[in-house]
Amino acid sequence: MTLTKPNPGSVITVTVRDVLAPRHIPPGPDHRVYQGEVVRSDRWLTDREFSMTGDLAWPVRIINLGNVIDIQFESGTSTAVDTAAQTWEVTGTGGARYLVTRDSAGWSCDCKGFQFRRNCRHVTEFSSQA
């Protein structure tokens, strides 16, 4: 599967899987749609993540390509991303679903623990099995 990552300056509409959808009461849609401009990403992001403008509540959104359902370009270009990646969907203790990814950059997870500590139990469990 070929993944494309939008380059900074691109104006896009992106549809992403909502990993917290099972926790919503009442249950809502399993996806969200965001529109905005892709901005230069912080260096701590992986090659499978990008930043885009958001709204007043979230001025910058970080999008994980593993959660992307669709990207529509209004303008701009994209770059191909490592296709040798493997992705697993895991269920956390609270019922939330997360994506654990192994690619050329190493292991990653889209849970909050990994975003802050760059490690989590989801990655630890999968990396010990590999």
pLDDT in tens, the chain (130 residues): 557 899 999 999 999 988 766 665 666 677 889 999 999 988 778 777 899 998 888 899 999 888 888 999 999 999 887 656 778 888 887 888 888 888 767 888 888 888 888 888 888 887 776 6
- Per 3-state DSSP, the chain is made up of helix, strand and coil in percentages (nearest 5) of 15, 45, 40
Task: Please report which helix (H) or strand (E) contains residue 5, including its range.
Answer: strand 3-6
Vertex 107, ends 97 and 117: CA angle to 5°? 75
pTM of full prediction above 0.75: no
| CATH architecture of the region 3-81 | Roll (2.30)
The domains of the chain are located at: 3-81, 86-129
Distance of CA 83 to the CA centre of its chain: 15
